[in-house]
Amino acid sequence: MKNKVLITGSNGLLGQSMLKLLKKQANVNIYATGRGKDRFCENGYDYHSLDLTNEQEIDALIKKIQPNCIIHCAAMSKVEDCEDHQELAVKVNTRATEILADVAIKYGVDHFIFISTDFVFDGEKGIYKEDDERNPPNFYGHTKLQAENYLLKISDQLPISIIRTCLVYGQVKDMSRSNIMLWAKNQLTNHMPIKVVDDQMRTPTFVDDLAMGILFCMDKKAVGVYHISGKEVFTPYQIVMTLVKEYNLNSDLVEAVNASTFKEYGRRPLKTGFDISKAQQNLGYSPISFLEGMKQVIK
């Protein structure tokens, strides 16, 4: 009997990567949900437009599908939007997660996988482990922290995995947002000078690696918190300079600056990045190198 998997946020970068990966699994029936029309537009799954702030819609869909596993990728993830529209951010990131989990318990879902963020950490320490103290520096991180706390509270009623990730990059169909590599390559190819932050540390995550980590988690029914990211530490400036070197672009056009150079809503943590040893040991997770991931994105 095939495993029924429901993905929320299937129009996003991770959602589309998840669809691409799950379509290759012979033992899975895939159900995808997102806002508006399907942007992946392929065969091999059932797509349902879904308002995650509407409890009745969620209940009706899960009752109809009866999924074995829910992979909850959907989020309002732009930091500035969460600062400007805090009530909506709570509805989408926190309340929708609570509703989904409650409905999952109601209909006997076997496994609930929630995608969280490095922004639940304040960025003072860097290279965080799963059980390090959480202290979000912005409202986006706060909404994810509240969702995590709710899931941890009900984890005796529902098998739950919380997967935190960090600076996800990739390339999929009909992308609603660009990424630092595509932006920098476009600017430098057109001989435009750019300023890039060099005092924020991250472990950039290739989206297909993240999708694979989630699949491992699903297949093993691994519960608890897992950090899934790349294994190399970069600042945004180092990311761009890796691009410059690989594609023979003009390094004179790139200026390293501090994060304080840019006025931004919602403070970003300075040093995050993950210790991924738990995912490597328990899940068999093994990310590709950043250079290889970058080549795949640019290709």
SS (H, E, C) 77-137: CCHHHHHHCHHHHHHHHHHHHHHHHHHHHHCCCCEEEEEEEHHHCCCCCCCECCCCCCCCC
- Report yes or no: 71 and 18 within 8 Å, Cβ to Cβ: yes
User: What domains, with CATH codes, occur in the chain?
Assistant: 3-169+204-231+272-288 (3.40.50.720)
pLDDT attached to residue 176: 62
pLDDT attached to residue 263: 79
Q: Which residue ranges in the chain fall short of pLDDT 70? A: 175-177
What's the DSSP call for residue 163? Answer: E
pLDDT attached to residue 130: 98
Burial class from Cβ neighbours inside 10 Å (0-12, 13-18, 19+) for residue 133 reads: exposed
Q: Against a cut of 0.95, is the pTM above it?
A: yes
pLDDT attached to residue 14: 96
Can you give the length of the chain in residues? 299
- Distance, in Å, from the CA atom of 11 to the CA atom of 170, rounded to the nearest integer, reads 14
